Structure 1
Amino acid sequence: MPVLDHLRELRRRVIYILLFVALGAVLGWVLYPHTLHFLREPYCSVPQQYRYTQVGTGNCVLIYHGVLDGFTTRLKVSVISGAVFTGPLWLYQIWAFITPGLRKNEKRYTLMFVAASTVLFAAGMSLAYVVLSKGLKILLEQAGYGTAAQLTVSDYISFVTLMLVVFGAAFELPLLVIMANFAGVLSAKVLKKSQRIAIFLIFLFAAVATPSTDPFTMCAMAIPMVVLFEGAVVIAVIHDRRKARRLAEERAASHLEDDVASTIDPIPEALPARVDSWSDTT
């Protein structure tokens, strides 16, 4: 394609993605009360003496100060929920924009890419939700007994959603490594040599990317990422071995030994008509 056609195709895919997210945001707006209750649970699981409770009832509540804070929080949660609900649809749009530049044998991984990326992102978000309860307890208890956190709903939702998105995106690392290996960009030999550096970079990324600064949350992200990365290396090694074996068989078939008879078609094809003179060709 010319460059302008690529830009038009990119614009079309981006419009599709925005439409999918917008439709998902409508569903997220309707389901906002349930989503808020789900996101609030890690904070409410913190011991009562370290969090703010409603006077008279003892219920776990989040507060806000500005008039528009409630609306903007609901809008933010709805859009993020819409992106999560429609994840397989916009992931397919990204892959559909990439596939025209791939070979036929690489295009067959479309379904695997969409399914694996969805599962890995959901697994990362699930782990983040589990870690949030422990991480918040550790962070809020650092102020000591006799203090309580009075969190605003906007700050808390921003912290939680950032945590979920970062964990989900981090779990896509092994899929990117495998896809780079299948495309021939990253070999298993290079991956095996750089394992120690990769593990160090994973822990460094976890320390920087996690919104909280506690080592528990960092290790909760880094250790599963290391396990997934090692699994990706194993898959890359198996893939490269099969590829090398297939290439060796093709090379052996195209270069026969001197004592091996080559296959000959018993019915030869007809030769093209002979051109007798220069005038016939003109």
Structure 2
Amino acid sequence: MSLRDHLRELRRRLLIAALGVVAGAVAGFFLYDWVVTALAEPVMSYVDAEDRRLVGLTFNTVGQPLDLLIRMSLFVGIIVSSPIWLYQLWAFIMPGLKKTEKRYALAFIAASVPLFLGGILLAYWILPRAIHFFFGLNPEGTSNLIALDIYFTFVLHLFLACGAAMVIPVILVGINMMGLVSGKQVLKSWRGVVMGIAVVSALAAPGGEAITMFFIMAPLTLLFAVAIVMCLLNDRRRDKREAREREELLGATPVE
């Protein structure tokens, strides 16, 4: 495909993904009250054992409820439509793969959706623990009256970051299959990646709880390790195929 064809294909894939998010956002509109109640529950149910301080979520402007409705609907739309836009991502990558590699790509498509949703569930598990830790840092006699837009910005960033972190190793394997990065290059970066995972896990495990940090770090590290192994195996398979093709080409070349 020419560059123009690639750009045209990218535009088509992005359009389909956007339509999927919009359709999911319509569903999010009807689920708005339930979603907001579920995500606000860690704050609204917070009880300090030593001091029953004032805790709550507030609107600061007249138009803020509408802004929150739109943002939460889009958030639900991204989650609900994840099978659509993740498929579009892989559909854009797949034309650059060999026929044998496309079979593996289909498996990665099937893995991306549960991994993304698993990251969302991980973030939901982290959220109340994060709230309890941060509220525990309040000086005595102070309150926690948080603007809803600020609170839900924190929540959305946490959820999307965890979801993306679970999918990135799968995307990394896809990029390797396209020949844009080798398994050895991925392997060389393992120290920096593990360090980054440890930092993210420590930040997402407020209070420095070792067990919470482990539950966050373990699946991310395991996924990265699996991605490295698959990239190395794919490199070996590609090298053997290219060597065989060279031998066949040399064998078919007439000797003068």
Task: Tell me how far apart the structure 2 counterparts of residues 136 and 28 of structure 1 sit (CA, whole Å).
Answer: 24
Task: Tell me how far apart the structure 2 counterparts of residues 71 and 126 of structure 1 sit (CA, whole Å).
Answer: 26
Q: Please, which moves more after superposition, 217-226 or 39-48?
A: 217-226
1:217-266 alpha-carbon deviations (Å, 9 max, x no partner): 8766444322221232233444455566677788889999xxxxxxxxxx
Correspondence 1:33-182 to 2 at 5 A: 33-48=33-48, 49=51, 52=54, 61-182=56-177
Q: Does 1:200 align with 2:200?
A: no
Superposed CA RMSD: 3.2
Q: Which amino acid aligns with 2:110?
A: A
Task: Tell me how far apart the structure 2 counterparts of residues 94 and 180 of structure 1 sit (CA, whole Å).
Answer: 11
Structure 1's 140 and 33: CA in aligned 2 closer, same or farther, altered over 3 A? same
Structure 1's 78 and 3: CA in aligned 2 closer, same or farther, altered over 3 A? same
Q: Which amino acid aligns with 2:95?
A: P
1:197-228 alpha-carbon deviations (Å, 9 max, x no partner): 33123335x279x6897655876644432222
Q: After TM superposition, give the deviation of residue 81 of structure 1 in Å.
A: 0.5
TM-score by length of 2: 0.80
Q: After TM superposition, give the deviation of residue 73 of structure 1 in Å.
A: 0.5
Task: Tell me how far apart the structure 2 counterparts of residues 142 and 211 of structure 1 sit (CA, whole Å).
Answer: 16
Contact 1:171 1:225 in 2 (8 A): yes
User: Which residue is equivalent to 2:227?
Assistant: 232
Q: After TM superposition, give the deviation of residue 175 of structure 1 in Å.
A: 1.1
Task: Tell me how far apart the structure 1 counterparts of residues 57 and 139 of structure 2 sit (CA, whole Å).
Answer: 21
Task: Tell me how far apart the structure 2 counterparts of residues 67 and 79 of structure 1 sit (CA, whole Å).
Answer: 21
User: Which residue is equivalent to 1:58?
Assistant: none
Secondary structure at the counterpart of residue 108 of structure 1? helix
Structure 1's 2 and 176: CA in aligned 2 closer, same or farther, altered over 3 A? closer
Contact 1:51 1:148 in 2 (8 A): yes
Contact 1:20 1:90 in 2 (8 A): yes
Secondary structure at the counterpart of residue 144 of structure 2? coil
Structure 1's 98 and 252: CA in aligned 2 closer, same or farther, altered over 3 A? closer
Q: After TM superposition, give the deviation of residue 193 of structure 1 in Å.
A: 4.1
1:113-144 alpha-carbon deviations (Å, 9 max, x no partner): 32211111111111111111111111111113
Task: Tell me how far apart the structure 2 counterparts of residues 184 and 165 of structure 1 sit (CA, whole Å).
Answer: 28
Structure 1 vs Structure 2: percent identity of aligned residues?
35
Secondary structure at the counterpart of residue 171 of structure 1? helix
Matched positions, count? 247
| Structure 1 or 2: more helix by fraction | 2
Task: Tell me how far apart the structure 2 counterparts of residues 50 and 239 of structure 1 sit (CA, whole Å).
Answer: 58
Q: Please, which moves more after superposition, 114-123 or 235-244?
A: 235-244
Q: After TM superposition, give the deviation of residue 94 of structure 1 in Å.
A: 2.2
Structure 1's 179 and 76: CA in aligned 2 closer, same or farther, altered over 3 A? same
1:71-118 alpha-carbon deviations (Å, 9 max, x no partner): 110110001101110111112122222323333223334432322111
Task: Tell me how far apart the structure 2 counterparts of residues 130 and 170 of structure 1 sit (CA, whole Å).
Answer: 15
Structure 1's 238 and 15: CA in aligned 2 closer, same or farther, altered over 3 A? closer
Please say which structure displays the higher CA radius of gyration: 1
- Runs of 5+ in structure 1 lacking a partner? 54-60, 257-282
Task: Tell me how far apart the structure 1 counterparts of residues 31 and 244 of structure 2 sit (CA, whole Å).
Answer: 57
Contact 1:207 1:218 in 2 (8 A): yes
Task: Tell me how far apart the structure 1 counterparts of residues 8 and 181 of structure 2 sit (CA, whole Å).
Answer: 30
Q: Which amino acid aligns with 2:20?
A: F
Structure 1's 252 and 4: CA in aligned 2 closer, same or farther, altered over 3 A? closer
Secondary structure at the counterpart of residue 147 of structure 1? coil
Task: Tell me how far apart the structure 2 counterparts of residues 121 and 159 of structure 1 sit (CA, whole Å).
Answer: 18
Secondary structure at the counterpart of residue 57 of structure 2? coil
Q: Does 1:21 align with 2:6?
A: no
1:21-57 alpha-carbon deviations (Å, 9 max, x no partner): 111111100011111122112223432546645xxxx
Contact 1:50 1:149 in 2 (8 A): no
Q: Which amino acid aligns with 1:75?
A: I
